[in-house]
A and B are shown apart, each in its own frame.
Chain A
């Protein structure tokens, strides 16, 4: 067991998989010689050499297209798109190409690739470098979508993503990069499609993802201390596949559900989960289904504005306590 940052966990996860499988290659903008703009890939070039760790031009379409062609013909590429906002300039590959080719080729084509990217806000980068785009990815049939919240989950879910035979979008949260956690020694391999109850509770269920998980945890402690509310917090971790069993199981125990979503409100991941709950656990519910989201607005740069925009601990506490006390 050793303490590791989320940032260093990314490096360790990639290194673990590259050391295991010579078909794993890694490439993107500034990832090799510079070690990544978020310093998430420092040392990989030195460890695995320029044949397997490669810098690219600022050509997001070339990056994702090349990842697809390499994956179709036998490699297991990990491609980095520096900021998830940049998916908008290479969206064709997510929406039309590697998500659909297996289906339209009647099962002939394989695309075992991972697209890593820095997602989410909190670093004052403004409207085009701070978005939470998990819902962009979740809506496309043929993509798996993962967003870890801890260093251990980064390694385990990255390993699971690399070993998965389908394309996986791996959303790292840029505000979590400096956070630390205890990480077990040795190889770590997790499973996609598994949510985690990170705080058991009996009064309500709070579903959260990535940066919203530590915020939900802090809110749960406050709710306990200030309001006597015992909230269960679930780290959803994987949007596709979605672990509805863990979620529905929790709803069956607590009967009250909240989501804490960093994506803007419309068509956020929580809307899909809430519709499943309304459909399949309606008679378990003792309170309205409440989504706590970023408002349906672009993100501002200024710290006071951005902090007020994203769901925060006080908003979660206020919304949960108001709902449970009404």
Chain B
């Protein structure tokens, strides 16, 4: 049901609404611009170590985060910049961590693959494939045990569906009826290998759902609205005691697996074809369709670009982490002593 809603009288509001759409658009632009900048900084040798970008996959992060409430928990893989930004962690904190500066989210101690911000509900980015699915189950168990109403949302790639922890976690979540939502970002490639070549079923997550008594949900991962609606339904099911969900989002990774990968294994034309369904282009059209002006959209774009510029300058000026951090926080007492 569409209805006229905004002050200009021309916008249409539906179940999602203008404010939420603007928020999700902004989130996608933040991810696009920050990830693009991360790549540029890598080329300048200012982003060190490794990094795994989510360019092309912005709508998944924006839709799931957009449907969350404060207090809901995010668990992500090493490809976690997008989900971290989507929960409201600042661009400066993320880029600072990628650049291994003292202003980074974990002051350089975790790096690109371990972004964590508990105050934003980002309970960690996990670099061992599949490890965080059982961990998300544990957080969901706490919610169930205490009667808390938060949902644990766990993001992973298509490659994760072939590791044991995925299957252990799904079975565990179902038998304990845990408020956890498993989100497979199927970007077609398990690192350098097409997922279809190494998986027994065509839909790596959704086709496995039946084995755990779950519905196999497939969502257009290029459309933040579709993602948002699927997320909201899964969260409501979880909050009302209905147990876990498994959602497979069809999406595409514009860059290689990691910074070291030029993605030459892709067939010619595949990238271009997916770029025609670019999530940000789709969403700009959506905003216009709902009566948002070009001017409002351009202002968001410009604001985000400026934020990225400012964050970049702050990170470039920031010092490296001090050596006093070296042995800090192994234990809860702040130290690392293993003997007296």
* Chain A contacts to B: CB under 8 angstroms: 25, 51, 54, 56-57, 59, 61-75, 77, 92-93, 96-97, 101-110, 112, 141-142, 165-166, 193, 240-245, 276
Contacts and interface: CB of A to CB of B under 8 A. Distances in A.
By CB atoms of chain B within 10 A, which of A57, A103, A166 has the most? A103
26 contacts: A62-B134, A64-B134, A65-B135, A69-B137, A70-B138, A70-B141, A73-B143, A75-B141, A92-B128, A92-B165, A93-B131, A96-B127, A97-B126, A101-B116, A101-B124, A102-B330, A102-B331, A104-B109, A105-B114, A106-B107, A107-B328, A107-B334, A108-B117, A109-B116, A241-B339, A244-B340
B172 A66 contact: yes
B138 A77 contact: yes
B324 interface: no
A72 B138 contact: yes
A73 B121 CA distance: 10
- Which 5 pairs, one residue from A and one from B, show the smallest C-beta to C-beta distance? A65-B134, A69-B138, A165-B332, A66-B138, A107-B329
A193 B139 contact: no
Interface in B97-134: 105-107, 109-111, 114, 116-118, 123-124, 126-128, 130-134
Given A65-B134, A92-B128, A105-B124, 5 more contacts: A65-B137, A65-B168, A105-B114, A165-B333, A240-B338
Of B117, B139, B339, most buried by chain A (CB within 10 Å of CB) is: B339
Contact of A65 (B131, B171, B330): B131
A62 to B, nearest CB: 4
Contacts of A66: 134-135, 137-138, 141, 172
Nearest to B175: A57
Interface residues of B, number: 54
B134 A61 contact: yes
A91 B73 CA distance: 25
A225 to B, nearest CB: 34
A66 B168 CA distance: 11
Nearest to A110: B332
A74 B165 CA distance: 23
Given A241-B337, A243-B340, A97 B172 contact: no
B340 A57 contact: no
A61 B165 contact: yes
A51 B145 CA distance: 7
